[in-house]
Structure 1
């Protein structure tokens, strides 16, 4: 939930002419150009990278594993943020008021909260599933049907956790004077604005603190187990598992590092309302938000860098859609095209 859409200061006693006249560097043309470039870069890389991940898992059979289905689930959540949230967040930041109507006022904060919950829960599920199979030597893998059920439950639980962002919200016009008013989309909590702070802090624990703790414990135990196996001899299967675990652990670390400044700043705003009135609060919040949103496009880069299956699949797609191949591929036989679907056969025994 966005601190600068909180009802306890957007619609309360702090919202007045003096507040609007605070230094706001986001109104400077140079700053706005940088913000536009930053958000557009994140959207471009996020949409391209996550769409590519979804496409290669759909196209290449050897990538259709349970772990990769969960990775696709992460990509879908990131796409939701890239396409539905970031363009509106950028416009809201630049214009300083809500211009997208009542429906989007309720839908967009909810969509971003939903996507973040899906991402954190999915990262936990991946860690716990690998912990189960590696630490406890459970060779029976999760079935694809069970994977689908888990993904549906993940979205249902995330929808429930994010629901207060849509339920406790208010859209309307705030009049400063007969000639001056702005459209406001803000949280509106019953009884006391303190409930908003309680919810925000609770979500900090649910979205960041608890998932980080679970992932840390799981991957530390996994790493110790794999290290012990590597000590007593070289095993190709454990080598592959170790590489995959390293990639997944890096995903968790990237998520934790990128979201830490945003969560810390939001926690400070919830604990001390004076933070909301500090010089360039809006700019600082926006910078931290940009850093957090970088996590939505980094994962596909990690897959291409750290996983040979994804790297081969990505290269195959780039090669397939290269302009010089457009004519030649149209004349390929069905047998040849089926052969292309068996990309990365040298890595097909890998877990990811």
Structure 2
């Protein structure tokens, strides 16, 4: 009888490949864990950052930590030492990986929809939809949906044992992504989240162009169509939107096609591993992607560096310049009422 800890034939990898993968996993673990923890710390420490929009970003950071801070160190340790984990613990590790991936992808959609409603809808609609209780339920739903997607894999006993684990270096044990059902579920999740993200940002861009406004998508600043020329940073709206969409597409679509094609035919281990490593980079880039243009995050980070945490005591509101939304609030009385609701 074949030992479960033995590698299937053809799954062995060279020493240089092991060193490269171990180094990449270690670096991504360090940077991803640090960046995600910094974002979470800033939102928790500064009241001005405690908004519905940032709640979804924090939700994604928590999911990314499951991959960067928990799964990646285990994978790096196994590749470097070759010592397999116990069967039950390995299954738990793979389940955490799948849970972190799905919640992170759902968080991308929640962030995109939040920005779509904030920028394209009237303030009353945004305030009604993103009340504190509703926001909490949306976040809880992302975890419950992910757990529901994981249950079929947990209840199944049909895993391929005679081939390398998909998208990873061979572990000699069953991977959650080696299950066709789990791989198909992840491919469907990536496809759905990509459609939502592209739709929301396309609608945002169209809304801004039609209303002759300039919006910085990543820090929600709306600037009126002034008679003089726009600042250079406001002219780069297309670049900001393109950056968000391109990074998401470049990191997820290769894995999507590998998962989809892998359900029908076998693919080379090098292709599976390379697309998987590119996908893992998304969990490191997420915190930077959604905060690098947000002035409130940058101010808060500078305050932490300078030891000025007391500046975070201001009451938080949604990061949007209310007094500049003239096309949404044409009357002064409406503006005052809206400001009163936000406060």
- Alignment TM class, shorter chain as reference: 0.7 to 0.9
Matched residue, 2:299: 312
Aligned 1:258-277 pairs, distance under 5 A: 258-273=251-266, 275=267
SS state at 1:226 partner: helix
Matched residue, 2:173: 185
Between the two proteins, the alignment pairs up a number of residues equal to 295
Residue 87 of structure 1 is aligned with which of 46, 62, 73?
73
Measure how far apart 1:93 and its partner are. 4.0
Residue 186 of structure 2 is aligned with which of 199, 203, 221?
203
Structure-2 change in CA distance of 1:337 and 1:107 (3 Å): closer
Q: Give the Cα–Cα distance (whole angstroms) in 1 for the partners of residues 44 and 91 of structure 2.
A: 33
Cα deviation 1:122-142 (Å, max 9, x = unaligned): 221222233234333243421
Q: Give the Cα–Cα distance (whole angstroms) in 2 for the partners of residues 16 and 350 of structure 1.
A: 60
Q: Report if aligned partners of 1:70, 1:126 keep a CA contact under 8 Å in 2.
A: yes
Q: Give the Cα–Cα distance (whole angstroms) in 1 for the partners of residues 43 and 190 of structure 2.
A: 28
Which structure has the highest helix share of the two? 1
Q: Report if aligned partners of 1:50, 1:78 keep a CA contact under 8 Å in 2.
A: yes
Aligned 1:281-292 pairs, distance under 5 A: 281=269, 283-292=270-279
Residue 341 (structure 1) aligned with residue 334 (structure 2): no
Q: Report if aligned partners of 1:169, 1:187 keep a CA contact under 8 Å in 2.
A: no
Matched residue, 1:238: 222
Structure-2 change in CA distance of 1:337 and 1:82 (3 Å): closer
Cα deviation 1:29-81 (Å, max 9, x = unaligned): x3322222211110000110000000000111111110001000000000111
Cα deviation 1:233-252 (Å, max 9, x = unaligned): 9xx95249x89997677445
Cα deviation 1:279-334 (Å, max 9, x = unaligned): xx1x44333222111111112223453221112222222232xxxxxxxxxxxxxx
Q: Which segments of 5 or more consecutive residues in structure 2 lack a partner in the other structure?
A: 163-169, 225-233, 323-343
Q: CA RMSD in A?
A: 3.9
TM-score normalised by L of structure 1: 0.71
Q: Report if aligned partners of 1:46, 1:79 keep a CA contact under 8 Å in 2.
A: yes
Aligned 1:112-131 pairs, distance under 5 A: 112-131=97-116
Cα deviation 1:138-171 (Å, max 9, x = unaligned): 4342112221121112111111112233332579
Q: Which segments of 5 or more consecutive residues in structure 1 lack a partner in the other structure?
A: 1-9, 175-181, 321-335
